Amino acid sequence: MARTARPAALALLCLVLPAAARAGGDVFGGYSFERADARNRHGWNVSLGVGLSGPLALEADGSGHYGSKDGVDRDQLTLMGGARFSLPGGAKAAPFVHALAGLLRVLFQGRTGTTSRAMRCRVLVGAALRFGAR
């Protein structure tokens, strides 16, 4: 799974970059580190936001984390989408709130292969920091 998910995520990011730039959206991609259940897991995260009207935007988010402990591999894939509302900000930061819902798939590979699927929701508050002139 990890061998195909990483190149697929990179290819998807490369395909949406030009479209997001033309639509006035924003794209994020990067490395992710997660510590859960006494496991260190490395992964990736990609996000695409496309402005709708004023402070409202649609957002899609995908992430994957991979790791093993005691001979059991755990692969996690999360795909979420929702709305982002940007609050008026200053010259250096723009606060936002986003609400996302989507799917979580966890695959345990070891002595017995087990797949778990669940629905996840999250509401986050953050700030977009501005560096340099734009």
Spans of all domains in the chain: 2-129
Query: For strand 26-36 and strand 56-69, is the pairing parallel, antiparallel, or unpaired?
Result: unpaired
pLDDT at 107: 79
The pTM (predicted TM-score) of the whole model is 0.67
pLDDT: which is higher, 91 or 105? 105
Q: How many beta carbons lie within 10 A of that of residue 48, not counting itself? A: 23
Considering only the top CATH level, what class is 2-129? Answer: mainly beta
The model's confidence at residue 25, banded by pLDDT at 50, 70 and 90, is confident
Residue 106: C-alpha distances to residues 1, 42, 48, 113 (Å): 11, 15, 23, 11
